[in-house]
């Protein structure tokens, strides 16, 4: 199947230098949603997909955004922009005349593959147009049917009569047609209309005149047909997209404290009996294991969370792995490269970066662990930091099993702390610590008799 995606619009109402189709919806460019949908359609129809994207304003940015990750896409430029029919003309040299052509829009991101499959089936060997009925059809092209109920033509609102403007069945712009005939009809398009443009919708009347059947496939979900022309509309569709995701999660057994207060900006894979509280944001690829729980207002990006693990409120996890039966937060931060084994506890205001934390190790309060290997069953006291940066380079720290580091200690990397070692509170450790021993590295306490606190001089 030929799949033509029109993405040449400037999007002036977006008030942005970013091409309209690159604005993100649920963490992905709008055009990316459409491309993924047509690929799913092609797979369901068991047909190879030939995707042609028609670009215009900001076309180079659109190419750059997709060419590296999807080199099979063919980009063509529409310049100047003279209407939808003119846009499809630019794609004609790249179409396979044997296969039908489906035309979609890069700024209509929520259309579903099942709807497109129904459209293709309804069209058969003829033309199919996707329609929807609206209580207020203002601004849309109307579907004009004959006395027999068959589609005769599509009339744009600016060109419609007063009677035609009362029609509530409207054109979504999405159309499928036999390619060889579509090419002939495109060549016959004129621009004698209010906007002096070549309308793709005029293909319908040309098909009827040639005796080609035109089927109108009506969708009940208006959200599938909504385009984005402003940031307001983008925000409205964002909520629609998120509610779709929330519904899918709940249908799969996930408990959401409030389906209206979750944002998934990527791919979220969940196990059984997962619980997600309000205000959570999931970005990139995230996996939540069975019976895991995510507390309110957490941000989780590119992370794997093990079974029975709890992420408490206001924690940030980025490019990390957390094992089973672990506990993170509240107000914890796991930075890229953090790997937590099973039963690890990372508490409030603890930050872990590029470190492996061993089985059942705990850092419950106000600590920083960076570029470190920490063994099993160790305890990192409150206020402890691993000083991994010398001002120019990062250095590694090795902390063994069953180590206890007292509160307010500084471990100056590179350093090795042996199994079973204890570091006294307030120590600044700069040399290797022997296993099984107590090490104290702090200044001796002293009292200065008769010392008086300085006072301000009078002005």
Residues carrying an active site annotation: 365
| Phi, then psi, of 122 in degrees rounded to 5 | -65, -35
Which CATH number characterizes residue 406's domain?
Answer: 2.160.10.10
Using alpha carbons, select from 401, 419, 421 the residue that is nearest to residue 409. 421
Domain of 371, in residue numbers: 249-439
Same domain, 257 and 372: yes
In a domain, 138, yes or no: yes
Helix (H) or strand (E) holding 173: strand 169-178
User: Do residue 191 and residue 299 come from a single domain?
Assistant: no
Asked if residue 116 lies in contact with residue 38, where contact means CB atoms within 8 angstroms, the answer is yes
75-79 — which CB contacts under 8 Å span 24+ positions?
Answer: 76/52, 77/8, 78/8, 78/54
The DSSP symbol for 298 reads -
Q: How far is CA 107 from the centre of its chain?
A: 16
Pair (292, 355) in one structural domain = yes
> Is 167 part of any domain?
yes
Phi, psi of 18 (to 5 degrees): -75, 130
Provide DSSP, 304-349: EE-TT-EE-TT-EEEEEEE-TT-EE-SS-EE-TT-EE-TT-EEEET
Q: What string of DSSP letters covers 380-428? A: E-TT-EEE-B-SS-B--EEE-TT-EE-TT-EEESSEEE-TT-EE-TT-E
Q: Do residues 259 and 221 both lie within one domain?
A: no
List Cα–Cα distances, 399 to 2, 380, 385, 442, in angstroms: 59, 10, 13, 20
Strand partners, 304: 287, 321
213 and 349, same domain (yes or no): no
The CATH number of residue 126's host domain is 3.90.550.10
Based on the fold, state whether residues 60 and 186 are members of the same structural domain: yes
Phi-psi region of 259 (alpha: psi -120 to 50; beta: other; left: phi over 0): alpha
Q: Give the pLDDT of residue 69.
A: 82
Is the domain of 187 the same as that of 299? no
186 and 264 housed in the same domain: no
* Co-location of 363 and 433 in the same domain: yes
- Which portions of the chain are predicted below pLDDT 70? none
Residues 270 and 415 in one domain: yes
Q: Is residue 396 part of a domain?
A: yes
Domain count within the chain? 2
Asked whether residue 455 is domain-assigned, the answer is: no
Q: Looking at the whole model, is its pTM more than 0.95?
A: no
Per-residue confidence (pLDDT) for residue 47, from 0 to 100: 84
- Tell me, yes or no, whether 235 lies in a domain: no
Give me the DSSP letters along 87-128.
Answer: HHHHHGGG--TTSEEEEEETT-TT--HHHHHHHHHHHTTSEE
Q: What are 144's two structure tokens?
A: 């004009």
Residue 45: per-residue pLDDT: 86
Q: Residue 361 and residue 374: Cα distance in Å, rounded?
A: 8
Tokens of 346: 């990372």
Asked whether residue 164 falls in the same domain as residue 212, the answer is yes
Q: Which of 199, 176, 181, 189 is nearest to 129 (CA)?
A: 176
Domain for residue 244, yes or no?
A: no
8 A C-beta contact, residue 201 and residue 84: yes
Which whole-number Å values give the CA distances from 30 to 52, 111, 129, 279, in the listed order?
16, 11, 22, 23
SS (H, E, C) 180-224: HHHHHHHHCCCCCCCCCCCCCCHHHHHHHHCCCCEEEEECCCHHH
Residues 122, 58 within the same domain: yes
> What's the count of helices (H) and strands (E) in the chain, helices before strands?
7, 37
Dihedral sign (CA 132, 137, 141, 144)? positive
User: Rounded to whole angstroms, how far apart are CA atoms 50 and 98?
Assistant: 12
The answer to whether residue 446 is domain-embedded is no
Strands 293-294 and 310-311 turn out to be parallel
Residue 448 falls inside a structural domain? no
């Amino acid at each position: 199947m030929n799949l033509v995606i029109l993405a040449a619009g400037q999007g002036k109402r977006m008030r942005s230098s970013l091409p309209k189709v690159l604005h993100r919806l649920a963490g992905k460019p709008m055009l990316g949603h459409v491309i993924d949908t047509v690929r799913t359609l092609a797979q369901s129809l068991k047909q190879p997909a030939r995707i042609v994207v028609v670009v215009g304003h900001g076309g180079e940015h659109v190419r750059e955004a997709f060419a590296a990750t999807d080199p099979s896409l063919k980009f063509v430029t529409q310049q100047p922009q003279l209407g939808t029919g003119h846009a499809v003309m630019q794609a004609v040299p790249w179409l396979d005349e044997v296969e039908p052509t489906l035309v979609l829009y890069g700024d209509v991101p929520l259309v579903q593959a099942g709807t497109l499959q129904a459209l293709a089936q309804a069209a058969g060997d003829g033309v199919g147009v996707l329609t929807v009925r609206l209580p207020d059809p203002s601004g849309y092209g109307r579907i004009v049917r004959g006395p027999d109920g068959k589609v005769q033509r599509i009339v744009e609102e600016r060109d419609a009569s007063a009677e035609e403007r009362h029609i509530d069945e409207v054109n979504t712009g999405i159309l499928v047609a036999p390619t060889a005939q579509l090419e002939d009809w495109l060549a016959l398009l004129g621009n004698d209309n209010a906007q002096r443009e070549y309308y793709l919708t005029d293909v319908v009347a040309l098909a009827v005149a040639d005796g080609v059947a035109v089927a109108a496939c009506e969708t009940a979900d208006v959200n599938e047909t909504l385009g984005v022309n402003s940031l307001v509309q983008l925000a409205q569709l964002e909520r629609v997209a998120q509610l779709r995701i929330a519904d899918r999660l709940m249908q799969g057994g996930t408990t959401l404290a409030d389906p209206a207060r979750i944002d998934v900006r990527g791919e979220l894979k969940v196990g059984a009996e997962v619980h997600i509280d309000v205000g959570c944001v999931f970005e990139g690829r995230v996996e939540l294991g069975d019976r895991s729980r995510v507390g309110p207002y957490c941000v989780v990006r590119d992370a794997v969370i093990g079974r029975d693990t709890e992420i408490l409120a206001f924690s940030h996890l980025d490019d990390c792995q957390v094992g089973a039966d672990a506990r993170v937060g509240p107000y914890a931060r796991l930075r890229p490269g953090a790997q937590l084994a099973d039963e690890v506890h990372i508490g409030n205001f603890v930050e872990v970066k590029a470190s492996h934390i061993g089985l059942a190790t705990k850092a419950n309060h106000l600590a920083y662990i960076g570029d470190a290997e920490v063994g099993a069953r160790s305890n990192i006291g409150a206020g402890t930091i691993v000083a991994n940066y010398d001002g120019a380079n990062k250095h590694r720290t090795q902390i063994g099993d069953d180590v206890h580091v007292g509160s307010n200690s500084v471990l100056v990397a590179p350093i090795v702390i042996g199994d079973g070692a204890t570091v006294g509170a307030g120590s600044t450790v700069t040399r290797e610590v022997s296993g099984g021993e107590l090490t104290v590295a702090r200044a001796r306490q002293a009292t200065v008799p008769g010392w008086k606190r300085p006072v301000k001089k009078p002005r």
